[in-house]
Amino acid sequence: MRKLLVLALVGLAAQLVDGALGMAYGLTSSTLLLLVGVAPAAASASVHLAEIGTTLAAGVSHWRFGNVDWRVVSRIALPGAVGAFAGATFLSSISTESAAPWMAGILFTLGAYLLVRFSRPLRTDRRGGRLRGRFLGPLGLVAGFVDATGGGGWGPVATPALLVSGRMEPRKVIGSVDTSEFVVAGAASLGFLIGLGSEGFLLPMVAALLIGGLIAAPIAAWLVRIVPAQLLGAAIGGVIVLTNARTLMRSADLDGPARPAVYALLAVAWVAALALAVRALLRTRRQRDVTATALAAVSPAVLSPAAVPAEDRLPPAIPSAAVPSAAVPSTAVRAEDRLPTPAALSSGGDH
């Protein structure tokens, strides 16, 4: 019972991270499952089966809020499903001893990528044009394979690539990636079912992860408005790097004084990344405040009549009541251009 409670907390924590960053549910939950001793293939299989429920709920929510670009979803989901099926089949075919360093290496790399990405200012500008299928197809294929073999990685691989392109709004990037992940998670689960059989899925573990994720979903929607994504991304990246470094050093038989030295080096890098993330966050907020102040100062001047040169101003409107009827004498109009009076019309009708 205690283990299931821990797994539910794992799912809750992973969903909080995913809700705040738009990625890393599988990455975080797989890392924590490996930390408590779950086999790599079983961890990835269980995480992906739980993701079918969490990604379905996320996709419906994003669709209702208009955050989904269905053209991107259709071009990235199918290649992603192929890559995920292939990755699940590959991970199921190798031994646990071989799978552990492979999976830890992928997670370590993705954690280091999160550290680097969120230690710099996040891109906000956009370029014109549409994303092409020859870019989306290979991206989905690679992201799906990495996701299945690493127990996570669909979001960390696909989301930054689409954001860097500058051709989509960030909300539509996150919504489209989350929606397409439903197809990827289903294909990965099918691959694990064929490769491992039904006993490869630890159903109590899946239920605990799913319940924790569903409980955390509304909290994550609140958390994303409170905790800066930049700071949270750097923090989670450091946790993933440190936890997977232990598996890599154990696989490499790295003992003695070298192991504390590696941990110390990684901790220094983590602190440096957090400091850079805070610096970039403060710089972004300063620029935002300067822009808002400039707009507030310019807007009244633009709306003020004194800002318009006298020769370019329109003359004031004259009310019709202010114009006397005698202002236009009837003698100023020629007789043939005058309109007939009602009396003239009635007299003409008698003839």
Q: Which residue is listed with tokens 């690539």?
A: 161
220 by DSSP, 3-state: which? helix
326 by DSSP, 3-state: which? helix
- What averages of pLDDT result for each successive group of 10 residues across the chain (351 residues)? 78 75 78 81 90 84 85 94 95 81 85 84 62 89 91 83 75 85 94 88 86 75 65 81 85 83 92 91 85 77 53 54 49 54 51 48
What six digits make up the tokens of 279? 């610096």
Q: How far, in whole angstroms, is CA 165 from its chain's centroid? A: 14
200 by DSSP, 3-state: which? helix
The dihedral over CA atoms of 161, 167, 171, 173, expressed in degrees to the nearest 10, equals -40
pLDDT recorded at residue 327: 47
What six digits make up the tokens of 304? 């003020």
pLDDT recorded at residue 331: 52
Q: Give the global pTM.
A: 0.67
